[in-house]
Structure formats: C-alpha cells, structure tokens
Amino acid sequence: MSLIAISCNGAKYGEPVKATAYLLSSFKNFWNYWNEYVKLSRDFTAFDESEKTISKDIFLKKLSTGGYLPLRLKSNDSLNYYKLCKIDERLNKDMSDAIKTCVNIRIQNNNMVNKPLPAFNFIDLNGRLYNGETCKGKIVVLNFWFIHCKS
C-alpha cells in the first residue's frame, strides 16, 4: 500500500500529536487517533495547510471533502489546535470515507445550534403534557434513544 501525505510538516503550535505517516499506515491507527484526539464538537483553533488561521466552518467544509486529515497539534495550554493535512483520498479511501461521514454529522449538528426546537407534543408515562407552551422558559433535557429492532 502506498501512502501519500502532502504539506504536513511542523506547525505553529507544536508538532502533531501523532505522526502523519503513522496515522496513514493503517485504518486502525487512524481510527484510534480519531477517537482519542479529534474532538470537533469542542472549541478549537483551525489552520489550513499553510498554517493560516481559518474559521471552524471552512475547516469542516474542507474536511468534509475527504481530501484532508485533521492533525491535532500539541500545545502547552488547554486549547485545541488542528491543522489540515492534504491526503490522497483514492489511496486512503476507508479513512477518507470515515472522515466524510463523521464531519458531515458534525456540520449537521453545528447547523442546529441556536435554532429553535421543532414543534413537539407528547405525554409522558405519568400523563404530563409536554409541548412548546408547557416547556416555555424552562430548561429541558432531551434524551433520545435509538433502538434498531429487526424481526
């Protein structure tokens, strides 16, 4: 298997937490890195390939193409820094597809921030009614369960 990574040397806020060649050497290495270090729902500073600061939206749009790897950079503070690293998505198809899927979900979630909750109307097991009127001005915690049943 050939690995191609372009323009991934050094960074303003330190080196990547894992070497690019290591990340691209196997899907397992990439996926372990993604789950441990890539936290796109948190606040972070984003850099393009040339270490220029870019917005979180632009960063996510570029990542969603599957042509980039987000390199988490080492830092001495508690902030998160990521730099885009160009990859050949044809040679790293599984990684590219995983990045696209995860990032597109993150973009969808980001698009819902500060938007009103869609209309809802339901009754709990104790017979209490919940809708926009009964919950107005209250803090409401929504816990969604996903149950996938096959018969």
Residue 98 placed within a domain: yes
- Does 60 have pLDDT greater than 90? yes
9 within some domain: yes
- The amino acid present at 2, given as its one-letter code, is S
CA 151 to chain centroid, in Å, comes to 33
Asked whether the beta carbons of 99 and 92 are under 8 A apart, the reply is: no
Residues whose CB falls within 8 Å of the CB of residue 41, separated by 6 or more in sequence, listed in order: 106, 109
pLDDT tens digits, one per residue of 49-59: 999 999 999 99
126 inside domain: no
pLDDT digits (tens, 9 = 90+) for 92-129: 899 999 999 999 999 999 998 888 888 999 898 999 99
Model pLDDT for residues 140-151, shown as the tens digit of each residue: 887 777 666 665
Within-domain flag for 30: yes
Question: Per residue in 50-78, is it b (16+ CB within 10 Å) or e — as a string?
Answer: eeeebeeeebbebbbebbbbbbbbeeeee
pLDDT at 151: 59
27 CB-contact burial (10 Å; exposed 0-12 / middle 13-18 / buried 19+): middle
Total domains in the fold of the chain: 1
- Assess if residue 137 is contained within a domain: no
Indicate whether 134 belongs to any domain: no
Beta partners for residue 53, in sequence order: 47
Asked if 106 contacts 60 with a C-beta cutoff of 8 angstroms, the reply is yes
Taking the model in full, what pTM does it have? 0.74
